[in-house]
Amino acid sequence: MLTETIFEDDRWQEAGLETLAETAAATTLAHLGHRAAEYEIAVLACDDARIAVLNADFRGKPRPTNVLSWPEEDLAPEAAGAAPEAPEPGDEADPHHLGDVAIAWETCQREAAEQDKPFAAHVTHLMVHGVLHLLGFDHIRDKDATVMEAHERAILGKLGISDPYRSDQGPSGP
């Protein structure tokens, strides 16, 4: 499997995070022309308290957030709007570790409700977003955000999930 999910909060098991994460990660890699079997990603399924500690430790922001990513290597482009470097592939016997993603239950649930989106669709979007970060995409610079969001829209479209950046739509997705 491409993803290995570590469950610190059992609510994620009931929500099917393992399948959602695997599908989101594999679709993201395929969209970018990478073979999923050549890579691995660790996913931490946690709660708001745990992600607040991680957010404080790694970003200096002592509050919960929806998803955090820790790339194994910096693939980000120097020029705004440029494509990131491609990660070195591993192989099926020894896949290349792309990095780690943590996702928080309460924040994801609250955001899905506030945005009137199915929980699974929102979580899938956040997993796609996190995997794109592992692959060197970012949204701090405007041109980079435009590129990253275009990939998110295309990937989610392949999964039957509506554009998460449109505010004039009702619930969508699985």
Does 144 map to a domain? yes
Answer yes or no: is 170 within a domain: no
Does 134 reside within a domain? yes
Whether residue 165 is contained in a domain is answered as no
Assigned domain for 166 exists = no
Q: Shortest CA distance to 141 belongs to which of 44, 56, 76?
A: 76
Q: Which domain holds residue 120?
A: 3-158
Q: Is 139 annotated as a binding residue?
A: yes
Does residue 163 belong to any structural domain of this protein? no
Q: Which of 64, 70, 150 is nearest to 109 (CA)?
A: 64
Tens-place pLDDT, residues 111-131: 999 999 999 999 999 999 999
**Measuring CA to CA, which residue among 45, 86, 84 is closest to residue 66?**
45
CATH number of the domain to which 135 belongs: 3.40.390.30
List, in sequence order, the alpha helices (H) in the chain: 11-15, 17-31, 48-59, 105-114, 119-134, 142-158
**What is the pLDDT of the chain when averaged over all its residues?**
95
The verdict on residue 169 lying in a domain is: no
pLDDT of residue 172: 41
DSSP per position, 140-151: SSHHHHHHHHHH
Q: What is the mean pLDDT of residues 135-142?
A: 97
The 10s digit of each residue's pLDDT in 18-62 is 999 999 999 999 999 999 999 999 999 999 999 999 999 999 999
pLDDT at 87: 97
Q: Does any domain span residue 98? A: yes
Mean pLDDT of the region 141-160: 98
Per-residue pLDDT band for 174 (boundaries 50, 70, 90) equals very low
129 is in an annotated binding site: yes
Q: Is the pLDDT of residue 63 over 90?
A: yes
Number of domains in the chain: 1
Identify whether the C-beta of residue 80 lies closer than 8 Å to the C-beta of residue 140: no
